Amino acid sequence: MFPARVRAGAPLALVILALSGCSSLWGCTDTTAKRGEAGVRVQVEDTSGQPLGVTAEVVDWRLEPHPQVPSRGDRVHFHYHFDGLDEASGTHGPAVDACAVDKERVALGCQTVYSSQAFGPDDPHTGDDWLAVEHPEQVAGVLLIPNDQSYHGRTCEQDIKDGGGPHPPETPRTGDQL
């Protein structure tokens, strides 16, 4: 069989591999979905680019001071609607990034809006939110990005054994072209 020295050194070799950051031992791989095409009305898609059967839409938007902090000037107040939600959508349901953009479709400010936060009095799938932007006078519209942002699993860096897999793209930053 195996000499005693080889058997004694095998556990040490595994420890060295684990400590060296050799992720191939666990096969952990992170992937990031490609950012979908932003629009006023989008089909929400999973990290594989497959539609979830849910549509998200910006119903309207306007510039106005936020009622709780009017001294901070105009902000972008927008209403959104999710269509196609059902019990299978999960506790939080899908979420998309909403971005105020200028006439060139450059992001001026973005944040994630969750379908579970939509609970309008007339329609339980309609909600509103506010975007703070540095130059509100440049806002030409509000767009949604179709990638579902509701679930961010652990990365390989966070958990080499149970992490990895597909992740949604990062929320756009100010200055990103949409």
Looking at residue 170, its pLDDT comes to 87
Say whether pLDDT at 24 is over 90: no
What secondary structure letter does DSSP report for 50? -
Looking at residue 92, its pLDDT comes to 65
Partners of residue 126 on adjacent β-strands: 81
Please state, in angstroms and as integers, the Cα–Cα distance from residue 127 to each residue in 3, 28, 31, 115, following that order.
70, 38, 31, 8
8 Å CB contact between 36 and 49: yes
- Encode pLDDT of 63-93 as tens digits: 999 999 999 999 999 999 999 877 554 456 8
Please state, in angstroms and as integers, the Cα–Cα distance from residue 147 to each residue in 7, 14, 34, 165, 172, following that order.
50, 39, 8, 16, 11
Looking at residue 118, its pLDDT comes to 76
Please state, in angstroms and as integers, the Cα–Cα distance from residue 167 to each residue in 23, 34, 35, 37, 138, following that order.
18, 10, 11, 17, 32
Tell me the chain's radius of gyration from C-alpha atoms.
22
Residue that has been written with the tokens 């992937």 in this structure: 31
pTM > 0.75: yes
Q: Which of 16-30, 55-69, 95-109, 161-175 has the lowest mean pLDDT?
A: 16-30
Looking at residue 161, its pLDDT comes to 76
Looking at residue 16, its pLDDT comes to 40
Between 84 and 98, the more confident residue is: 98
